[in-house]
Structure 1
Amino acid sequence: MAWTTMDIAIMAGVITAVAVFLVGLLLLILHYMYRHKGTYRTHEDKGTEFAESADAALQGDPSLQDAGDSSRKEYFI
């Protein structure tokens, strides 16, 4: 079977369209991975990063002053 210039042009067009689609998909995936690389914001109390322990950091918290029994402590991370 002899290839005509029309057949070659159609095949080249299809191959080009698939290549452009794959490059676009790759760029979209790289953009998503760059934007969502694991950074997040925390809303921690000021001054707790210098505390000796978790107990010392939470002693000054007014919402925990009436916690009751201090022998059982529970921390949520």
Structure 2
Amino acid sequence: MDIAIIAAVITAVALVLVCLLLVMLRYLYRHKGTYHTNEAKGTEFAESADAALQSDPALQDANDNSRKEYFI
């Protein structure tokens, strides 16, 4: 093999590794600290926890005002 071909292959591999490293660093930087919650939408301005939960469509069938439970 010619020494120029070996040098070109080594350079190409090094360039691919550097590009992969840059893509990984960009991904880690952009997604740092992101998380998803399952909280109801639009409840951040409610007066109380009861008012926020009464408008939640997932809890409409379990709406019993006689007993209230609060979990802290």
With the length of structure 2 as denominator, give the TM-score of the two structures. 0.51
- TM-superposed CA distance for 1:25, in Å, is 0.2
Q: How far apart in 2 are the matches of 1:29 and 1:43?
A: 33
Relative to structure 1, the CA distance from residue 43 to residue 32 in structure 2 (aligned partners, 3 Å threshold; closer, same or farther) is: farther
Name the amino acid aligned to 2:15.
V
Unaligned 5+ segments in structure 1 are: none
Q: Which residue of 2 aligns with 1:71?
A: 67
Equivalent pairs counted in the alignment come to 66
Task: Return the index of the structure with the highest Cα Rg.
Answer: 1
Does 2:17 correspond to 1:27? Answer: no
Q: How far apart in 2 are the matches of 1:43 and 1:69?
A: 19
Unaligned 5+ segments in structure 2 are: none
With the length of structure 1 as denominator, give the TM-score of the two structures. 0.48
* RMSD (Å) for aligned C-alpha atoms: 3.8
Q: How far apart in 2 are the matches of 1:24 and 1:70?
A: 62
Q: How far apart in 1 are the matches of 2:40 and 2:29?
A: 23
Q: How far apart in 1 are the matches of 2:41 and 2:9?
A: 55
Percent identity reads: 47
Does 2:31 correspond to 1:36? Answer: yes
- TM-superposed CA distance for 1:73, in Å, is 2.9
- TM-superposed CA distance for 1:44, in Å, is 6.2
State the 4+ residue runs in structure 1 displaced beyond 4 angstroms: 39-45
Q: Which residue of 1 aligns with 2:10?
A: 15
